[in-house]
A and B are shown apart, each in its own frame.
Chain A
């Protein structure tokens, strides 16, 4: 069974204090790893897709990286508007219908 574990569950940062969120996964074969952002009362919003170990993608203050067992979401000099829950999800090779399996998320709070 595909497993996705995110850590920490919650993270509080001061504005400008850089940090990283972790997503570790156990799948028999990875087709893609996805990062989403979810604000309270809203649906998840797509951020990145990573396909193979060593790949990196950036968007504004966010940078996602991928290894064979985990992905990191690095947040550089965060601002209060970066406060949200960050979800990662995996698509496994053997899963029928190309299902995404989500982790439980990391709730990020950035204080001004």
Chain B
């Protein structure tokens, strides 16, 4: 079974530039997550999709970050304009969602390492 795919794997940009990340989840997974993982910390949820609808974007800095999931499959996360503090690994994960209020396990992609200079 193919895992979660992400691209690019690495990206270096200057502050105030824009950047976009792409994610292709596991086939059949309706729920898709974007996380930000700063070095030495655990992942922090940015946004959660159920099919192509947003379930939770309460921790997404909406003044500079945006995300979409067209047709309920692939997703893109964009940062515009980038700041130095956005340097992190951006992880995409997918899952079957939840049952009886409890989350199914999430499957993570390899992440995109972003460096903002």
Contact = CB atoms under 8 A, between A and B. Distances in A.
Contacts of A73: none
Interface residues of A, number: 25
Contact of B41 (A42, A46, A97, A104): A104
Interface in B76-117: 91, 93, 98, 101-103, 105-111
Interface residues of B, number: 24
B56 interface: yes
Nearest to A91: B103
A87 B93 CA distance: 15
Given A97-B56, A104-B40, A43 B91 contact: yes
Contact of A102 (B42, B105, B111): B42
B16 interface: no
Given A41-B110, A43-B108, A100 B58 contact: no
Interface of B: 4, 40-45, 48, 55-56, 58, 91, 93, 98, 101-103, 105-111
Interface of A: 4, 31-32, 34, 41-46, 49, 51, 87, 89, 91, 93, 96-100, 102-105
